[in-house]
Structure 1
Amino acid sequence: MQQPRWVDAAAVRRIVSPDRARRLIRCELADGLDPASDPARRVAGVGDGQLLVMPATKGRSAGVKVVSVAPGNPDRGLERIQALYVLLDADTLTPSVLIDGTAVTSLRTPAVSAVAMDVLAPDEVGSAVIFGSGPQALGHAEALLAIRHTSSVTVVGRRGDAARATAQRISGLATTHRLSTRGITVDDPQVEAAVREAQVVVTATSAATPVLDDDWVADGACVVAIGSHEPHRRELGSGLLGRSLVVVEDIGTAHREAGDVILAAAQGALDWADVHTLADLVLGRVERASDRPNVFKSVGMAWQDLVIAEHLARP
């Protein structure tokens, strides 16, 4: 077998910008890609963590991402989520390219969120709140700034030093205007006011229970929840889901993995018949609500990785 070409994290960022990733994801949906065709994610428990296998096929390409989730890694100075992506020829199933899968995940997750935010968020986003201080917090800030002229970002974290460090990194992302940032802890009394004033709220945490109160989010605001892919975990409460326009990547996948939606429906706060898909947004079948919050719940799907990997593999 010929040695597969290696694409490292630096090359991933150099070849595909965050906004280019957004446009690639959006284009695939606009061209008719059906997320429901994705095979279900396979999950195996390993100690306190998980091993995930995410295969996908499209056209002349196939690929699989192998992901490890180790909750204790940050205390060891390692990333909580690590991954490797293998791109194959769909006819021969010969591995052709190996890619830093962690970098792919860090790129495509905010890109998918940005596709939703571009429809669900108001045209004017003066302030945003991001729960979480890891790589996805930074990536979602960058994705938001590529589509909206945001002037204030508040980072909310369990540890004040981590939240402040992420806020400082976000402050350097704005190149066309002055961006005010701050980092505060989850128990800071300023959190509620920040959320109530925000036009965009992102939850990118490892929490198993809601990280904000149901009534904090203003009508017309956009909430993006990306922290969990497990049916028993949630970052958003049933009350918030029940009074919101709710969008997911795919209905079948959400039934298996989107705990925020699953639990809200089980508690009678939300009807699955009222849940929309990301393709509905892209194809104009549903529009942003101004009289209630807009929630996009993402669990991450294999087709998204393949879209990015295909572009990275081009000569």
Structure 2
Amino acid sequence: MARPGLPWLDAELIHSALRPRAAVDALAEALRGGLDPSAGASRSIISMAHGELLMMPAEYADVAGVKLATVAPQNPANGRPRVQGIFVLLDSQTLTPTAILDGIELTALRTPAVSLLAARDRLLAHTDPLDILVFGAGPQAVRHVETTHDVLADHRALASVTYVCRHPARAQVPDIAGLRPRVLVAAEAADLIVSAGLIVCATTAEDPLFDGAAVRDDVIVLAVGAHHRSAREVDDALISRSCVVVEDVVTAKREAGDIALALVSGALREERIIALARAVREPALVATDAPLFFKSVGMGWQDVVVARAVLGALEDGALQS
């Protein structure tokens, strides 16, 4: 007998099924429940004739899964996305596939959810309107702003949102909470570095984007770009004065230039690095009198946790309808 086709969860369905703060909650629940990010398999990167194939497997509770992503640098010139991908969700006991999700939308949902999990307690500890400064104007930049707004809803307003990019005229960034964001080049944003309460770095930069000595003592800096050991979005000045949180210490040392280069220079000692799971389970470990710096490289456990939450939300909705 022919097997029925697997459910296909496209970007629109994923986006409508799970709001950003619910994704944050799902990740927090997983870590508080004992999920160990360091126990998962590392991503595999395979060189292909015209790019790279990335495989990110993971397992959590009653599900497992793998994200297959491709990076084809020549694609934009041919009208196709540079990065494409799917996520295959499996039953953890039988390893039977149960659903296929749009991998790009899943990544766009889970990456800012991980960042906001690291930042949520400090963001919610204040009620004054928040000034957000974002380096980059792509999907991750925008989704970090949207996730921040959703997490802060009914608790803290956004005072301003500013995107910094090389070509402001090309940027397509939506209004948020009734605010029209500004889009500037770096030279125009120097003063905003001093006043921002939240700085998001979502770029392909290889060198620091701003002077880390200039930021506020209570600033939160979320860095999600620059995934090579030789590339960094923040400088030693910021790292040396910050409380540093990462998804997993070993992974960050291996893949994150912001961390690896600071360890080499001496601006950071390994014993100062806090794994996200510890920060979630023991919030008192995260200092409140220094900048909070969170570096993310993306890990498979995040995909499987959020994919499970998406499917659960869809199933709950079907039962209630």
TM-score relative to the length of structure 2: 0.89
2:163 maps to a residue whose letter is: V
| SS of corresponding position for 1:151 | strand
Does residue 311 of the first structure (1) align with residue 286 of the second (2)?
no
Q: Take 1:147 and 1:86, find their aligned partners in 2: how far apart are those partners?
A: 28
Task: Give 2:121's aligned residue.
Answer: 119
Match of 2:215 among 201, 214, 217: 217
1:100 maps to a residue whose letter is: D
Does residue 157 of the first structure (1) align with residue 165 of the second (2)?
yes
CA contact (8 A) 1:50 1:68 kept: yes
Q: Deviation digits for residues 232-285 of structure 1, max 9, x if unmatched?
A: 221111221111110001112112112100110011110011000112221134
Correspondences of 1:133-144 after superposition (within 5 Å): 133-144=137-148
Task: Give 1:245's aligned residue.
Answer: 243
- CA-atom RMSD in angstroms: 1.9
Structure 1 residue 91: deviation in Å? 2.4
Structure 1 residue 77: deviation in Å? 4.3
Moved more, 279-288 or 245-254: 279-288
Q: Deviation digits for residues 104-127 of structure 1, max 9, x if unmatched?
A: 000000111111111244623520
Structure 1 residue 140: deviation in Å? 0.2
Structure 1 residue 211: deviation in Å? 1.3
Structure 1 residue 288: deviation in Å? 4.4
CA contact (8 A) 1:83 1:100 kept: yes
Q: Take 2:4 and 2:93, find their aligned partners in 1: how far apart are those partners?
A: 16
CA contact (8 A) 1:60 1:90 kept: yes
Moved more, 287-296 or 73-82: 73-82
| SS of corresponding position for 2:189 | helix
Match of 1:45 among 43, 47, 56: 47
Task: Give 1:131's aligned residue.
Answer: 135
Match of 1:299 among 286, 297, 300: 297
Q: Take 2:73 and 2:110, find their aligned partners in 1: how far apart are those partners?
A: 21
Correspondences of 1:36-115 after superposition (within 5 Å): 36-46=38-48, 49-115=51-117
Does residue 208 of the first structure (1) align with residue 225 of the second (2)?
no
Q: Take 2:194 and 2:81, find their aligned partners in 1: how far apart are those partners?
A: 32
Q: Take 1:288 and 1:251, find their aligned partners in 2: how far apart are those partners?
A: 15
Q: Deviation digits for residues 197-241 of structure 1, max 9, x if unmatched?
A: 100000001111111122222111000000133222211112211
Match of 2:258 among 251, 255, 260: 260
Change (3 A) 1:33 1:152: same
Q: Take 1:284 and 1:306, find their aligned partners in 2: how far apart are those partners?
A: 24
Q: Take 1:285 and 1:12, find their aligned partners in 2: how far apart are those partners?
A: 30
1:312 maps to a residue whose letter is: V
Q: Take 1:72 and 1:195, find their aligned partners in 2: how far apart are those partners?
A: 34
| SS of corresponding position for 1:118 | helix
Change (3 A) 1:49 1:205: farther
Q: Take 2:77 and 2:189, find their aligned partners in 1: how far apart are those partners?
A: 26
Q: Deviation digits for residues 30-60 of structure 1, max 9, x if unmatched?
A: 2221111111111123467432110001222
1:253 maps to a residue whose letter is: T
* Structure 2 unpaired stretches of 5+: 316-321
Task: Give 1:179's aligned residue.
Answer: 179
CA contact (8 A) 1:125 1:200 kept: no
Structure 1 residue 7: deviation in Å? 0.7
| SS of corresponding position for 2:12 | helix
Structure 1 residue 302: deviation in Å? 0.5
Q: Take 1:312 and 1:184, find their aligned partners in 2: how far apart are those partners?
A: 35
Task: Give 2:319's aligned residue.
Answer: none
CA contact (8 A) 1:212 1:236 kept: yes
Change (3 A) 1:236 1:85: same
| SS of corresponding position for 2:144 | helix
2:215 maps to a residue whose letter is: V
2:141 maps to a residue whose letter is: A
Task: Give 2:318's aligned residue.
Answer: none
Correspondences of 1:279-298 after superposition (within 5 Å): 279-298=277-296
Task: Give 1:199's aligned residue.
Answer: 197
Q: Take 2:199 and 2:259, find their aligned partners in 1: how far apart are those partners?
A: 17
| SS of corresponding position for 2:158 | coil
Q: Take 1:48 and 1:201, find their aligned partners in 2: how far apart are those partners?
A: 35
| SS of corresponding position for 2:298 | coil
